[in-house]
Structure 1
Amino acid sequence: MNEQQVKECITSIISGNTDSYRFLVEEYKDSVYNLVFKFCGNFSDAEDITSEAFVRAYKNLHSYKPGMSFRNWLFSIAVNLARDILRKKKFKPGSLDVTMLLEESDVNIQFSDDADNPEEIVFNKEEKSALLGAIHALPEKYRVVIILRYMENMSFDEISVLLQKPLNSIKTWVSRAQKILSKKLGKV
């Protein structure tokens, strides 16, 4: 579904055709779930947060601005909801099951393509696991921007709009997070 089709679908929903909302849910449910799962590392929480994000998006569809990417608007709702819920639950970075995250989500962290031998494959999986664990141990604001930037491939501008923070703050947070990760992972 392209942005024009999304806008037509939204117009239809606002006009009273509430059945059209299921098309938006079908289009975005996996990407929202994967994003939320990367934040919380727990299937049950990710499902609950994803469902609630779609409920809130539906209730607030009138506030969607057609010039903005619907995907980013929906991600904004999901990210804010995930942050709120995880704060209330007193989320601990150690609660992440990195193995499940590697196996079950669409986390796509690329290392060497030369991984033909089993030792290299195991080493790459261990590197990914260490990296994901280090990301989840970051302070919340750094974790959020790293996930959006490198796992969701969002631009600094998109992250700035999504989080409603100044562009320079986003760039600074990404830079600081990279330094923390480099230090934790033993890289200069």
Structure 2
Amino acid sequence: MDKMVNRIIQQVKKGDQQAFEGIVELYGGRVYQLTYRMLGNTHEAEDIAQEAFLRAYMNIDRFDTTKKFSTWLYRIATNLAIDRMRKKKPDYYLDAEIRGTEGLTLYSQTAADEKGPDETVAASELKEELQQEIDNLPAKYRSAIILKYIQELSLKEISEILDLPVATVKTRIHRGREALRKRLRNG
């Protein structure tokens, strides 16, 4: 996929504006999902995703083709989402009490392949509650948690996206997990 993306990028650099549509088709859903998970609002996520693609297009000459395009694009989207979060609301404190359920983990899964209606509703409620708790994390922890557990990126990729050392990324993921665990236990 990287070779195909690099070919598209070369076309865009040569002035083929239509070629960039291929980039949007390839990454549109993932960039929107990332921004939605960070912002928790459909309209804001759409705006930020669109802005991320616009900035990528405007700055395509700055992209280093020896690196992964997706990492560069996710970095743009993540930074825009973090900026929007900072403008939107103040940071929350890690020791703030928020209701939760005991023993919930980030990715608790049920053993059965098929869920009954009650299990589906309960899982949906837990997922929604977990998303609310993630939304309440400070931006620096929220972005690390989303990139790691929802986007399933490697520590190295997260490090590049957030422009932080891997050790700092590990610390933020750990502290974000601990904050979530603490909030979900304090009901």
| Shorter-chain TM-score above 0.5 | yes
Shift of 1:113: 3.5
**Which one is further off, 146-155 or 75-84?**
75-84
Quote the RMSD (CA, aligned, Å): 2.0
2: CA distance between counterparts of 1:31 and 1:82?
A: 14
Contact 1:109–1:128 at 8 Å: present in 2 too? no
> Given residue 124 of structure 1, which amino acid in structure 2 is its aligned partner?
A
> Given residue 129 of structure 1, which amino acid in structure 2 is its aligned partner?
E
Per-residue CA deviation, residues 48-93 of structure 1 (Å, 9 max, x unaligned), is 1111111110111011111211111111111111111232233688
1: CA distance between counterparts of 2:181 and 2:90?
A: 23
**Which one is further off, 114-123 or 124-133?**
114-123
> Given residue 110 of structure 2, which amino acid in structure 1 is its aligned partner?
S
2: CA distance between counterparts of 1:181 and 1:131?
A: 8
Please say if 1:23 is aligned against 2:22: yes
Percent identity of equivalent pairs: 37
Aligned to 2:152, the other structure's residue is in SS state coil
Contact 1:109–1:151 at 8 Å: present in 2 too? no
Aligned pairs, number: 172
Corresponding position of 2:103 = none
Corresponding position of 1:166 = 165
Query: Which of 108, 111, 114 is equivalent to 2:109?
Result: 111
> Given residue 140 of structure 1, which amino acid in structure 2 is its aligned partner?
A
2: CA distance between counterparts of 1:39 and 1:127?
A: 18
> Given residue 61 of structure 1, which amino acid in structure 2 is its aligned partner?
I
Corresponding position of 2:89 = 90
Runs of 4 or more, structure 1, over 4 Å off, are none
Gap change, CA 1:92 and 1:172, over 3 Å in 2: closer
Corresponding position of 1:139 = 138
Gapped regions of structure 1 (runs ≥ 5): 94-107
Gap change, CA 1:64 and 1:25, over 3 Å in 2: same
Contact 1:57–1:74 at 8 Å: present in 2 too? yes
Corresponding position of 2:174 = 175
> Given residue 111 of structure 1, which amino acid in structure 2 is its aligned partner?
Q
> Given residue 60 of structure 1, which amino acid in structure 2 is its aligned partner?
N
Aligned to 1:51, the other structure's residue is in SS state helix
Shift of 1:150: 0.2
2: CA distance between counterparts of 1:92 and 1:170?
A: 19
Q: TM-score, normalised by structure 2?
A: 0.85
Shift of 1:120: 2.4
Gapped regions of structure 2 (runs ≥ 5): 93-105
Q: TM-score, normalised by structure 1?
A: 0.84
Shift of 1:119: 2.7
Shift of 1:130: 1.9
